């Protein structure tokens, strides 16, 4: 086979799946509304189950639920037969994925849920299947054409199942008014966690900040700068920011034998300031554009005022150490 055909075959497969995914709209009906309400009103955990490819999709959707603050885990139907069924309580709900709806390995889990009054949201393509007959809420998947050469390998069917699961999660997120701040709590690591970091999450505060009164002399300023090791000193007057002195500025002036000279008329009077809720990635961009290594951080309301109180300092090293890009 000509290798150039690889791309055309991949495009053909993708086109089939994209076209089949459009059929998911039929599933967004009153049953979908009932499923979301059941999830939002659940007093326990949202437990996912499935076998084979459906099981893999169930694991992924369960992970999505957990990451958006909806307590969830995946329970393998086979393991459930050997004790894991004890994890499922009456206050929980079960979301079971099975494209055919007739997977025999699910039967014992279904019977257990029905016996003990555990609500089931069944996700399958056959309305008369064992799963959907036993479910409290029936989410009927559309019949789709698989995108492989045999038309039998789960491709479009797994894609449509995954989309339905993700839509359950995202709809619940909207209803719960889920925010980036909340997402950061549940997902602090990796590139996603880093992208959600704000200035206030990385800045140094309190006694770690190199701050000095405007009446102090250069010798005292040098002592503070060497002690705090941020390469700058923030000059204050009556607790408000007056200006800033960099390491280079200070040392050049000291070469002129100015150790006892007052800072009053020396510092830069308009230092660059950002608000505490600025994304850390934006702060890094500003530093790169301005060719500076530090930014002063103030509150949102102070940023628009004539006088600002220093809340913290961001150094470029802190951003890079935290993986901010």
User: Which DSSP string do the residues of 176-207 spell out, in sequence order?
Assistant: TT--HHHHHHH--SHHHHHHT-BHHHH-B-GG
- In which residue ranges of the chain is pLDDT below 70? 1-3, 178-196, 254-269
Per-position b or e across 56-69, b if 16+ CB within 10 A of its CB = bbbbbbbebbbebe
Are residues 53 and 164 part of one domain?
yes
Residue 222: the pLDDT is 81
Residue 323: the pLDDT is 73
Structural domain contains residue 84 = yes
Residue 246: the pLDDT is 81
Tell me, what DSSP letter sits at residue 142? P
- Count of domains observed in the chain: 2
Structural domain contains residue 36 = yes
Are residues 89 and 18 part of one domain?
yes
Number of Cβ within 10 Å of residue 129's Cβ equals 20
Nearest one of 186, 63, 226, 49 to 121, comparing CA atoms: 49
Looking up residue 219, the CATH number of its domain turns out to be 3.10.580.10
Looking up residue 135, the CATH number of its domain turns out to be 3.40.50.10490
Are residues 33 and 157 part of one domain?
yes
Residue 17: the pLDDT is 95
Are residues 23 and 153 part of one domain?
yes
Calpha distance 66→45 (Å, rounded): 10
Are residues 254 and 121 part of one domain?
no
pLDDT in tens, 172-219: 988 877 666 655 555 555 555 556 678 888 888 888 888 888 888 777
**By residue range, what is the domain housing residue 130?**
4-178
Report phi then psi at 45, rounded to 5: -110, 155
Are residues 21 and 152 part of one domain?
yes
Structural domain contains residue 189 = no
Residue 161: the pLDDT is 96
Residue 195: the pLDDT is 60
What count of residues does the chain have?
A: 325
Structural domain contains residue 150 = yes
Residue 185: the pLDDT is 53
Residue 231: the pLDDT is 83
Q: Which residues, in sequence order, are CB contacts of 180 under 8 Å at separation 6+?
A: 196
Are residues 174 and 215 part of one domain?
no
Residue 101: the pLDDT is 93
Are residues 169 and 22 part of one domain?
yes
Are residues 166 and 29 part of one domain?
yes
Quote the distance between the C-alpha of residue 148 and its chain's center: 33
């Amino acid at each position: 086979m000509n290798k150039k055909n690889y791309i055309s075959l991949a495009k053909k497969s993708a086109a089939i799946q994209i076209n089949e995914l459009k059929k998911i709209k039929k599933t967004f009906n009153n049953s979908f509304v009932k499923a979301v309400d059941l999830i939002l009103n659940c007093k326990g955990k949202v437990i996912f189950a499935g076998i084979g490819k459906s099981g893999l999709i169930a694991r992924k959707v369960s992970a999505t639920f957990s990451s958006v603050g909806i307590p969830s885990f995946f329970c393998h139907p086979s393991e459930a037969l050997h004790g894991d069924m004890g994890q499922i309580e009456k206050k929980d709900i079960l979301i079971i994925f099975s494209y055919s709806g007739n997977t025999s390995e699910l039967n014992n889990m279904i019977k257990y849920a029905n016996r003990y009054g555990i609500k089931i949201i069944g996700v399958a393509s056959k309305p008369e299947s064992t799963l959907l007959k036993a479910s409290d809420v029936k989410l009927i998947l559309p019949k789709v054409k698989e995108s492989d050469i045999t038309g039998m390998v789960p491709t479009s069917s797994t894609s449509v199942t995954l989309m339905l699961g993700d839509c359950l999660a995202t709809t619940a997120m909207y209803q719960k008014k889920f925010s980036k701040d909340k997402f950061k709590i549940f997902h602090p690591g990796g590139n996603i966690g880093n992208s959600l970091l704000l200035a206030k999450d990385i800045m140094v505060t309190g006694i770690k900040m190199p701050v000095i009164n405007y009446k102090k002399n250069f010798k005292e300023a040098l002592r503070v700068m060497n002690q705090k090791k941020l390469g700058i000193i923030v000059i204050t007057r009556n607790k408000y920011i007056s200006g800033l002195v960099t390491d280079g500025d200070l040392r050049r002036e000291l070469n002129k034998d100015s150790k006892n000279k007052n800072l009053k008329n020396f510092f830069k009077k308009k230092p660059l300031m950002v608000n505490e809720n600025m994304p850390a990635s934006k702060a890094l961009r500003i530093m790169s554009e301005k060719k500076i290594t530090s930014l002063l951080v103030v509150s949102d309301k102070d940023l628009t005022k004539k006088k600002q109180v220093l809340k913290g300092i961001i150094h470029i090293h802190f951003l890079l150490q935290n993986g901010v890009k």
